[in-house]
Amino acid sequence: MLKIQDISKNFGSLQALNDVSFDVADGQIMGLIGQNGAGKSTTFHSILNFLNYSGTITWNGQPITESVFDEIGYLPEERSLMPKLTIEQQIIYLARLKDKSAKEIRPQIDTWLQRFAVKGNKKDRIKDLSKGNQQKVQLICTLIHKPKLIILDEPFSGLDPVNADLLKQAILTAKEQGAAIIFSSHDMENVEELCDKLVMLRNGRAILYGTVREVRQSFGKTRILVTTDWTKEQLENLPHVIKVERHEEKRFVLDLDDETAGEEIFDKLTQGKYIEEFSQQPPTLDEIFRLKAGEKDE
């Protein structure tokens, strides 16, 4: 288990982290979200001991030192491969830094290249690959030694939907193998789909923490999806409806100021008759992100 307790970090007068705490258990995926500059990369750099910080960070009850670096897989936001090396040379070089031998890693390379659909072969030089394929090679370098703690800083950046799905499958496989995984992303759909828990940072503070369901439910079921013949104007006049968006010709999203109004709205819309769709839900993570990111700290 990765355990972070009350970590803080200042860069001069800028407080990048302020008493941030959370846990990531084995076999669990944690999403770290927040606007640019919220403290996500600083959190990762603190975990990896790239920075001095106040507070406590432990891995399986022990401080993270060089002795456990071999158990960690880290993908930085800024990609950094050596362009003159071949794919094979690059993967083996970084694996050897994780105390894996070339004899052990070399037979796995073709399988990993196929898994990530890397275009080319292991004898191609890094510089001759597209940016997307370079990114996939770096992901292979991050995962091939089967780390027990995986840290991915914006791993989906630049990936098309097909390649993003390949990465998702790799993350889920690592979870099934018992790895503790933490990744940052600006795509709330990825966070909602993959994560067991999430932490949201704003100006260095953790302002949301819990399971995806807990976080969404904490905002109340203030969102109704409905398919109806009613007009947008009629829906706007319903009690406690503060906003109406049309998604399709007869499909609308209603925002409420009071979740208890759902039953009354249901009765008015259905009038005791069949209705194709009526679903009362909490706001999506994307809506929560926009709401909380725009708030000012007190």
The residue out of 160, 188, 216 marking a domain boundary is: 216
Q: Do 153 and 246 belong to one domain?
A: no
**Per-residue confidence (pLDDT) for residue 131, from 0 to 100:** 85
Give the tens place of pLDDT for each residue, 173-212: 999 999 999 999 988 999 999 999 999 999 999 999 999 9
**Per-residue confidence (pLDDT) for residue 158, from 0 to 100:** 77
Q: Do 260 and 173 belong to one domain?
A: no
**Per-residue confidence (pLDDT) for residue 292, from 0 to 100:** 87
Q: Do 183 and 231 belong to one domain?
A: no
Q: Do 153 and 51 belong to one domain?
A: yes
Q: Do 46 and 140 belong to one domain?
A: yes
**Per-residue confidence (pLDDT) for residue 297, from 0 to 100:** 57
141 part of a folded domain:
yes
Q: Which contacts qualify for 164-172: CB closer than 8 Å, 24 or more apart?
A: 164/190, 166/115, 166/116, 166/117, 166/136, 167/116, 167/139, 168/193, 168/194, 170/115, 170/116, 170/139, 170/143, 171/29
**Per-residue confidence (pLDDT) for residue 65, from 0 to 100:** 86
125 part of a folded domain:
yes
Q: Do 85 and 125 belong to one domain?
A: yes
291 part of a folded domain:
no
pLDDT, mean over the chain:
92
**Per-residue confidence (pLDDT) for residue 181, from 0 to 100:** 98
209 part of a folded domain:
yes
161 part of a folded domain:
yes
CB 30 within 8 A of CB 24: yes
End-to-end CA distance of the chain: 33
CB atoms within 10 A of CB 243: 12
What are the residues whose beta carbons fall under 8 Å from the beta carbon of 161, sequence distance 6 or more? Answer: none
How many domains are there within the chain?
2
**Per-residue confidence (pLDDT) for residue 77, from 0 to 100:** 84
The residue out of 216, 249, 266 marking a domain boundary is: 216
- The residue ranges of the chain whose pLDDT is under 50 are none
Q: Do 229 and 212 belong to one domain?
A: no
Phi first, then psi: give them for residue 218, nearest 5 degrees. -65, -20
Query: Residue 166's domain spans which residues?
Result: 2-216
pTM: 0.86
Cβ burial 52-61 (10 Å sphere, 16+ → b, else e): ebeeebebee
39 part of a folded domain:
yes
Give the tens place of pLDDT for each residue, 62-72: 999 888 899 99
Q: Do 161 and 257 belong to one domain?
A: no
Q: Do 252 and 109 belong to one domain?
A: no
Give the tens place of pLDDT for each residue, 206-230: 999 999 999 999 999 999 999 999 9
Q: Do 97 and 227 belong to one domain?
A: no
The residue out of 173, 200, 216 marking a domain boundary is: 216
User: What CATH number does residue 28 fall under?
Assistant: 3.40.50.300
Q: Do 18 and 149 belong to one domain?
A: yes
